[in-house]
Chains A and B, each alone.
Chain A
Amino acid sequence: MTFSRRRFLQLGLTASGALLVGMRAGDALGAAPMPPELLGDDLVQLTAFVMIERDNRVVIGARGCEIGQGVITALPMLIAEELDVDWSKVRVIQLPYGYEETDGKPGNRYGDQFAGGSTSIPTAWKDLREAGAAARWLLVQAAADAWSVKAHDLQTQSGHVIHADGRKLSYGALARTAAARQLPDTPIPTRDPATFRIVGKPTRVVDARSIVTGQNRYGIDEYLSDALVAVMLRCPHLDGSLESVDDKDARRIPGVKDIITIDGPKTGEVFDGPLAAGIAVLAENTWAAIQGRNALKPVWKTGPWTEESSTALSAKANTLLDEARNGIEVRRDGDLAASRKRARHTVSARYEVPFLAHATMEPPGALIELRNDGALLIASLQNPDGASRLISKLTGLPRNTIEIRLPRSGGGFGRRLANDFVAEAVLIAKQAGKPVKLMWLREDDLTHDHYRPFGVHAMSAVLDRRNRVAGWSHDCAATSRTYRAAGMQDDPLWKGCLEPDDFPAGLVDNLEKTFHPVTSGMPRGWWRAPLHTFHAFAVQSFIDEIAFEVRRDAVELRLEMLGAAREIPYRGHGGPVFDTGRMANVLKLCAEKIRWKDKRDDGRGIGIACHFTFGGYTAHAFEVSMDGDKLRIHRAICVVDVGRVINPLGLEAQIMGGTIDGISTALNLQITVRDGQVQQKNFPDYRLLRMADAPNKVEVHVVESTIDPVGGGEMGIASVAPALANAIFATTTVRIRKLPLMPELLRLL
C-alpha cells in the first residue's frame, strides 16, 4: 500500500482542524451534540474520516465542499454504510482542505474535495466506501485479537463486532486498539449493495437544525478579531484600469481605516487573479466600508472593449454563421453535402443563448490571514485546491502552511470554481498587513463574474423520403469558454460550448458540427451543467421544429433517432458511453407522465425534451398556458436516470431545484453588455424566479437502477429550456428561438 493510500484510508489529522457544522444525522430534530473537540479522550480518531466515541457514537468527516448539492449528507452515508453503524448514531463534521505532501509531491489526505462536474458522488462511490470498509476492518481485527479468534469468523452489526457464539463488542470499546493497527496492502472489500441499509434511504440534510436556527456559519459569517472588512469598487469597463481616485471623502467616513488599490488583469493574459482593477475600502465593519466605497471618486480608464455590446455580438455571430467560412471542425461524419442533394426536406433554424451570471445567494467573499509562517483562509469555495495554489503563488508561502477551512457555501453553480475573490483578499491583506474579510456586494457579483458563454446555434437537418433525419449540421458561433481561461489554453476553442459526441452524434449518418469563435472581452466560466445548458436549448427545440415541419410526433422522432437500445462512444465528461436505451426510457416515461398522447383542448400546451448530462439521463415535460402576458406552468415533470441513488431525498431536491433553476433561467435571465460594461447590477435587473411564478410542485420520477451512480446536481437543468419553449409553442404557436424566453415571447405575441 502506498503511503498516500494508507493515509487516505487510515490516518487522520486531529479533530481541531475540522469545522464543526454537523449534528447527529439521524437525530436532526434533537438537541445540539457535543462538539468533538470537547470530548477529549472519549473520542478516538480511527481513520481520516471516522472518529468513535466511547459510548459508541460515531463522528464522520464530510470532505466535499457543500454548496447546496447535499454532499455533507450523501458522502458520510457511504462511509457509514460500509462501517456498519446506525445512521442515528452518526454525527457529521465538515473536514477542512486536506493538503499534504508525500516525498515533496502534493496530495490530499481526503482525496478529491472539488465540487464541480457532478463528480462528488461517482468519485466517492469509488473511494469513500473503501474508506468506510477500512475503518470497519480495523475494528474487526481488534475484536479478533481481543478474543484470539480469526477475523473471518466475525461479523458486524450496528456498531458492534459479533462472534458466532454470541459474544459482542462495541466499536467504542474497540476503537483505541483498532486505531493502532495497520491496514493490509490488499484492497479491502466493500459490501454487496444488495445489503445496504443506509445508502438508498431518504435522508435529511444532516445540519438542517443549525440552518433553521441561524447557527450554521457560511463563509460570509466568519470573523477574525483583528480583521478589517474590505468592500471594493471595481472598474466597470472590461479590462479597464484605474487612472486615479479621489478618496478624501471616503477616508473621512467614521470606521474607515485604509484604502488600497489593486490591479486588474492585463488584456490577453489568463484570468488567474482578480477579474478587475479595484479600490478596496478597509473598515471596522461592512457598513462603514460600503459608505466609504460609495464616497470614492474614481477615474477609470476604459479598456479595449468599449465597442462591445450584446447587439454587436449577436450581429457578429450571425455574420460568421452566414459566411460559414473557416469554422473549426468539431465533428464530421458521412457526407452531409451529398445527403442534402438527396433531401426530401431541409429544415433550418437559429437559436441564441445569452451570457449568464451565477448569482449565488451568498456572494463571493473570503476571510484571510497572512502570517510569515503561513496563512488561514475561510471562504465558501468549490475549488480549495485552486485556492491553495493561488495563495501560494501570490504570497510565496509553501502550500503545506496554508490552512483552508470549508464552511457551508450559499450556493455555487460553478461561480466558486474560480478563486478571483481569494486572489483579491490576498492582495489586499498583503498591502494592509492585517487579516481581511472581503465582502462582495450583489452589484459586484453580477458585474464581475465568469459568465456562461453567449452564442448562436445554426441548426440544419436533412430529411429523407420517409421523413427520417438523414443529415444534421450544427454550426455554433459563440464567445469561446476557453478565452483566457486558466488551464484551458491548450483546449480547442469549442470546448465548454459543444461536445462532439452529444446527441444526435453517432445516430445520424451525415453530421457536421463546427464552431466559430466570437471575440469578446467578457470573462467566461462554468455555469451549472455548462455546455449542456448552452446547447441543449438549440438541439431539443430544433427536434420539435423538425417534427412540426414534417408532421411527425416529436417524441416518436426522438425515439426513432435514438434507435435500438445500445451503448455508443461518448468522449466527453460523463462518458465513456452514451446509452440510447436509458435516454429513450426516461423520455418514454416522461411522455407517459405528461399524458403526451392526450390532446389538450383547454388552451394548455405541453412540451418535452431530453438530454444527457455528465452521465445522467434526463427528460422534462411541462404543461403551460398563457394568462394575458403571464406564463402559467401547470405541471412540471422531470424523469432522471442517474444510476443507483445514494440519497433519494437529496436527489429529489437536486432535480426539483435544477428544474426550477432551469425555469428561472430560461424565462427571464440574461446578462447583457453595452459599451464594454455589464448592464445588470442587482436582482431587479436579473430577475430570478420567485415563488409566485414557480410551479407549486415538480413531479420528480427517478428510474430505479443498480448501475454505478453519477451525481445529481447538474442533471436537472439542460432539458428545461427547450421543453418550456416547446410547450409555449404548443399553446401559442409562437416558436421562441432566443433565450430568455419571456422577453422574446412578449415581443413576438
Chain B
Amino acid sequence: MQKSPESQAPASAKSTGTEKSAALAFDINGKPYFHDGDKAMPLLWYLRDILRLTGTKYGCGIGACGACTVLIDGKAARACLTPMQAVAGLKITTIEGLAAEKLHPVQQAWIENDVAQCGYCQAGQIMAAVDLLARKSNPSDEDISGIANLCRCGTYPRIRSAILRAATLSRDVQS
C-alpha cells in the first residue's frame, strides 16, 4: 500500500466567505482568510501547518536567520516572530504568491543567476530582495549588504548579482 503525502490544505483551513465571530481576518496571496485558533500562533506555523504553504521555511524561530521572511503589507517581516493577532487586517505575501502571470523579476533573476544550492533559505532571500528593491530600485552594494538573511551554502555572491539583475529586469518592465 502506498500513501501520498498530503499536498492539499485541510478543508478547515480553506478561506471561507463568512466571517466567524472573534476570528482574525487577513489576506494571504490575494485571498481572504480567517483564523479562530490560537492568536499567539506565529504566522510561520499557520502558513506551514495550517495552510500547507511550505515555501516559507523554519530556520531558527527567533528571527535570526530570515528563512521565514514574508511580506506583510509589502514589507519584509519574520513570520516566526509574527503572532497571528498582529496580522489582522493585513495583506501577507508568501513566496507562493509572488509570481502572478509571470515570475517576479527577482525570481527570474534567481534562476538566471543559478543562485540556489540547497535552496532552503532562498524563499526568504527572495522576499528580502523584493522588499529591498521596492525601497531602492537601484540598490548599492551596501544596500544589498543590509539583507541579513543567512545562507549556509554561501550563495551570497550570486544573491548579489541576482539582485542587481532583478533591478535591471524591473526597470525594463517599467520602461
Q: Is the CB of B5 within 8 A of A208?
A: no
Q: Is the CB of A409 within 8 A of B118?
A: yes
Docked complex: A309-366 residues within 8 A CB-CB of B: 359-363
A286 within 8 A of B: yes
Q: Is the CB of A214 within 8 A of B3?
A: no
Cβ distance A671 to chain B, nearest Cβ, rounded Å: 15
A169 within 8 A of B: no
Complex alpha-carbon distance, A214 and B68, angstroms:
12
Q: Which of A205, A218, A369, A694 contacts B154 (CB 8 A)?
A: A694
Q: What residue of chain A has the Cβ atom nearest to residue B48's Cβ?
A: A286
A195 within 8 A of B: no
Q: Is the CB of B95 within 8 A of A688?
A: no
Which residues of the partner chain A approach B42 to less than 8 Å between Cβ atoms? 287
Cβ distance B62 to chain A, nearest Cβ, rounded Å: 6
Q: Is the CB of B154 within 8 A of A214?
A: no
Which residues of the partner chain A approach B154 to less than 8 Å between Cβ atoms? 656-661, 664, 689, 694
Docked complex: A509-553 residues within 8 A CB-CB of B: none
Q: Contact string, B128-159, partner A, CB cutoff 8 A, digits 1/0?
A: 00000000000001001111111111111111
Docked complex: B24-54 residues within 8 A CB-CB of A: 38, 41-42, 45-46, 48-50, 52-54
Q: Is the CB of B54 within 8 A of A217?
A: yes
Q: Is the CB of A653 within 8 A of B158?
A: yes
A211 within 8 A of B: yes
Cβ distance A687 to chain B, nearest Cβ, rounded Å: 9
Complex alpha-carbon distance, A367 and B54, angstroms:
15
A229 within 8 A of B: yes
Cβ distance B133 to chain A, nearest Cβ, rounded Å: 15
Q: Is the CB of B6 within 8 A of A213?
A: no
Complex alpha-carbon distance, A371 and B112, angstroms:
44
Which residues of the partner chain B approach A367 to less than 8 Å between Cβ atoms? 5
Q: Is the CB of B157 within 8 A of A697?
A: yes
Q: What residue of chain B has the Cβ atom nearest to residue A681's Cβ?
A: B62
Q: Which of A222, A410, A439, A692 contacts B5 (CB 8 A)?
A: A222
A177 within 8 A of B: no
B117 within 8 A of A: yes
Q: Is the CB of A214 within 8 A of B152?
A: no
Complex alpha-carbon distance, A17 and B1, angstroms:
11
Cβ distance A549 to chain B, nearest Cβ, rounded Å: 34
With A29-B108, A653-B155, A661-B154 known to touch, is A682 a contact of B49 (CB < 8 Å)? no
Complex alpha-carbon distance, A442 and B61, angstroms:
8
Complex alpha-carbon distance, A536 and B67, angstroms:
32
Complex alpha-carbon distance, A401 and B93, angstroms:
42
A22 within 8 A of B: no
Which of A69, A287, A360, A649: most chain B Cβ within 10 A?
A287
Interface size counted on chain B using CB atoms at 8 A: 67
A628 within 8 A of B: no
Which residues of the partner chain A approach B87 to less than 8 Å between Cβ atoms? none
B86 within 8 A of A: no
A696 within 8 A of B: yes
Complex alpha-carbon distance, A403 and B46, angstroms:
29
B78 within 8 A of A: no
Which of A16, A359, A363, A653: most chain B Cβ within 10 A?
A653
Q: Is the CB of A683 within 8 A of B110?
A: no
With A285-B49, A361-B65 known to touch, is A212 a contact of B56 (CB < 8 Å)? no
Complex alpha-carbon distance, A350 and B103, angstroms:
54
Q: Is the CB of A691 within 8 A of B156?
A: yes
Q: Is the CB of A212 within 8 A of B3?
A: no
Q: What residue of chain B has the Cβ atom nearest to residue A17's Cβ?
A: B2
Q: What residue of chain A has the Cβ atom nearest to residue B58's Cβ?
A: A220
A596 within 8 A of B: no
Q: Is the CB of A688 within 8 A of B103?
A: no
Cβ distance B154 to chain A, nearest Cβ, rounded Å: 3
With A221-B54, A691-B145, A692-B148 known to touch, is A378 a contact of B157 (CB < 8 Å)? no
With A209-B111, A213-B107, A218-B120 known to touch, is A657 a contact of B155 (CB < 8 Å)? yes
Docked complex: B87-103 residues within 8 A CB-CB of A: 94-96, 98-99, 103
A68 within 8 A of B: yes
Cβ distance A448 to chain B, nearest Cβ, rounded Å: 16
Q: Which of B3, B99, B114, B118 contacts A208 (CB 8 A)?
A: B114
Interface size counted on chain A using CB atoms at 8 A: 80
Complex alpha-carbon distance, A221 and B96, angstroms:
14
Q: Contact string, A392-419, partner B, CB cutoff 8 A, digits 1/0?
A: 0000000000010000111111000000
Complex alpha-carbon distance, A371 and B2, angstroms:
11
Q: What residue of chain A has the Cβ atom nearest to residue B121's Cβ?
A: A361
B160 within 8 A of A: yes
Cβ distance B44 to chain A, nearest Cβ, rounded Å: 8
Complex alpha-carbon distance, A422 and B136, angstroms:
45
Q: Is the CB of B114 within 8 A of A214?
A: no
Complex alpha-carbon distance, A218 and B116, angstroms:
14
Cβ distance B109 to chain A, nearest Cβ, rounded Å: 9
Which residues of the partner chain A approach B103 to less than 8 Å between Cβ atoms? 29, 209, 212-213
Q: What residue of chain A has the Cβ atom nearest to residue B111's Cβ?
A: A208
Complex alpha-carbon distance, A510 and B27, angstroms:
73
Q: Is the CB of A223 within 8 A of B52?
A: yes
Complex alpha-carbon distance, A408 and B156, angstroms:
20
Complex alpha-carbon distance, A16 and B41, angstroms:
36
Cβ distance A298 to chain B, nearest Cβ, rounded Å: 20
B123 within 8 A of A: yes
Q: What residue of chain B has the Cβ atom nearest to residue A255's Cβ?
A: B38
Q: Is the CB of A683 within 8 A of B107?
A: no
Complex alpha-carbon distance, A690 and B125, angstroms:
12
With A361-B152, A660-B154, A691-B148 known to touch, is A683 a contact of B65 (CB < 8 Å)? yes
Cβ distance B143 to chain A, nearest Cβ, rounded Å: 11
Q: Is the CB of B45 within 8 A of A408?
A: no
A568 within 8 A of B: no
With A211-B122, A215-B55, A216-B119 known to touch, is A696 a contact of B65 (CB < 8 Å)? no
Complex alpha-carbon distance, A363 and B57, angstroms:
11
B126 within 8 A of A: yes
Q: What residue of chain A has the Cβ atom nearest to residue B94's Cβ?
A: A214
Cβ distance A47 to chain B, nearest Cβ, rounded Å: 22
* New A-B pairs, 16, CB < 8 Å, besides A208-B111, A442-B60: A29-B103, A211-B119, A212-B123, A212-B126, A214-B98, A286-B45, A361-B59, A362-B59, A403-B2, A413-B152, A660-B154, A660-B156, A689-B154, A691-B159, A692-B145, A694-B154
Task: Jot down 28 A-B pairs with beta carbons below 8 A, ordered by A.
Answer: A66-B118, A67-B118, A204-B114, A205-B119, A209-B111, A213-B103, A214-B53, A214-B55, A214-B95, A217-B54, A220-B57, A220-B58, A225-B6, A225-B10, A286-B58, A290-B61, A361-B120, A362-B57, A409-B118, A410-B118, A410-B121, A653-B114, A684-B62, A684-B64, A689-B154, A690-B148, A691-B149, A691-B159
Nearest 9 interchain pairs by C-beta: A214-B55, A660-B154, A68-B118, A410-B120, A214-B95, A221-B54, A657-B154, A68-B117, A692-B145
**Which residues of chain B have a CB within 8 Å of any CB of chain A?**
1-3, 5-6, 10, 38, 41-42, 45-46, 48-50, 52-62, 64-65, 67, 94-96, 98-99, 103, 107-108, 110-112, 114, 116-123, 126, 141, 144-160
